[in-house]
Amino acid sequence: MSIPIGYNGRGTQLLWSLDNINFTPVAQLQQFEPTGSKQTLVDQTNLSTPGNFTVYQAVQADGGEIDFAGLLNPGDYTYLTLGQLHGNLVAAFWQARLVDGSVFSFQAFVSEFKPFTVKWNKLYTFSGKLRLTGGFQSPLGAFQPGAFDPLAFVTI
Amino acid sequence: MIESGLFTWALANPALQLLLGQSDEEKGKKIFSSFYFSFLPKDPILPGILFDRLKSEEADDTLDARTALPGTLMEGRFQFGCVAQDSPENPVNPSGYLSAALLSQALRLQIMGLATGRFELPDGTAIQDVRIDDEFDAHFELGGQGYIYRRMLMATIFFN
């Protein structure tokens, strides 16, 4: 038996940087969540394929998106900068810092930005999406460690 | 503190002063004191307001680390019990029930008037929004010299 290890969300940060050195956390975020990276799979099944099942070959990986949403403070600099990154089409450097100290790094565009949501009975919120270009750099290493691998296209 | 702010605001409100009771010493002067916290004292001045805080949640929260500094937007639920007794001194309305209902009606309107987005109570408490949750009759109680009628006004106030 082992003691389960878990962490609460408070203290988790999503940070942006223009120089990949100085990172600024986006304030008042309430949640952010990657959609997850996805592979493009090509059907490699042919007459010579052994067995009865379809055989796939992974040919590409898409870093996916990160949805984020927060409580709006219209005067907050870190929130306003999201709009600037969006409007100027900047592929900024980003980090997700988890409370255990793990850091996930990536490059992304602010591909969608909703500066405010107003409801009569709710506090203001903002939301948007980051579109990853390339993959994550996880604590274990890059999701995409090497260059293009032609062996990936070897026909089975 | 919002309690002291609402206390001062209510007793200084001209629309409410018309309906609040006064002691013999207070009559003829612009002095009102019939705003009570949590319980009615013995021989209270009526009609009056019996005030209770029912809930104090944070209006919202974020992932950010917290501090001990004040200023968090609170979502507080408050009960304003409007209490009155039958009184021949009120020629317009001798019924204690109707006096309580009139006071509650006026209080409801005045509290709604706080929902400007930026209202500031006398103590400095900033009120962002007000929602009336409910208004209903509570059962009358035996008072020192008759029955005390009660109408309850429940309001949610966003403040910091």
A118-144 pLDDT, tens digit each: 998 889 999 999 999 998 887 776 665
Nearest CA in chain B to A14: B63
d(CA B92, CA B140): 21
Q: Which chain A residues contact residue B60 at CB under 8 A?
A: 30, 71, 123
DSSP state of B40: P
Considering the domain boundaries, does residue B65 fall inside one?
no
- In B, what residues contact A, Cβ < 8 A? 59-66, 73, 131
Distance CA B118, CA B120 (A): 6
Contact A123 B66 (CB under 8 A): no
pLDDT at A144: 59
Distance of CA A93 to the CA centre of its chain: 11
The pLDDT of B88-105, averaged and rounded, is 80
Q: CA–CA separation, A11 vs B84, rounded Å?
A: 51
Pairing between strand A13-17 and A103-117? Answer: unpaired
Return the CATH architecture of domain A13-139.
Irregular (4.10)
CA nearest to B128 within chain A: A123
Q: Tell me if B68 is assigned to some domain.
A: no
pLDDT of residue A147: 44
Q: So what's the pLDDT on residue A18?
A: 94
ipTM of the complex: 0.79
- Contact of A17 with chain B, judged by CB distance below 8 Å, is answered with no
Q: A110 pairs with which residues across the strands?
A: A130
The domain that holds B40 is classified in CATH as: 3.30.2000
The tens digit of pLDDT for each residue in B119-140 reads 999 999 999 999 999 999 988 7
Question: Of B59, B63, B73, which has the smallest distance from its Cβ to A30's Cβ?
Answer: B63
Whether the per-residue pLDDT at B111 is higher than 80: the answer is yes
Write down the pLDDT at residue A153: 47
| Secondary structure element (H or E) that encloses residue A60, with its range | strand A56-62
Pick A10's closest partner by Cβ from B59, B65, B73: B65
The pLDDT value given to residue B30: 85
B64/A10 touch (CB, cutoff 8 Å), yes or no: yes
Res B144 pLDDT > 70: no
Residues 6+ apart with CB under 8 A from A123: A71, A72, B59, B60, B73
Cβ–Cβ < 8 Å for A14, A33? no
Residue of B99 and B95 predicted with greater confidence? B99
DSSP code at position B67: -
Beta strands at A65-71 and A56-62: parallel, antiparallel or unpaired: unpaired
Q: Which domain holds residue B151?
A: 2-60+74-159
Low-confidence residues of chain A, pLDDT below 70? 141-156
Quote the tokens at residue A7: 């962490």
State the pLDDT at residue B143: 63
B63 to A29: CB separation less than 8 angstroms, yes or no: yes
A74 preceded by cis ω (within 30°)? no
Residue B80 lies in a domain: yes
Say how far apart CA B88 and CA B93 lie, in whole Å.
8
Tell me which DSSP letter residue A11 carries: T
Interface contact flag, B60 A123, Cβ < 8 Å: yes
Mean pLDDT, residues B112-125: 92
Residue B43 inside a domain? The answer is yes
pLDDT for the residue numbered A148: 45
Residue type, B19: L
Q: What is the pLDDT of residues B31-90, one digit of tens each?
A: 888 999 998 888 888 899 999 999 999 888 999 988 888 888 999 999 999 999 877 666
Does A139 lie at the interface with B, CB-CB under 8 angstroms? Answer: no
Q: Is residue B79 part of a domain?
A: yes
Per-residue pLDDT, B92: 60
Does B67 reside within a domain? no
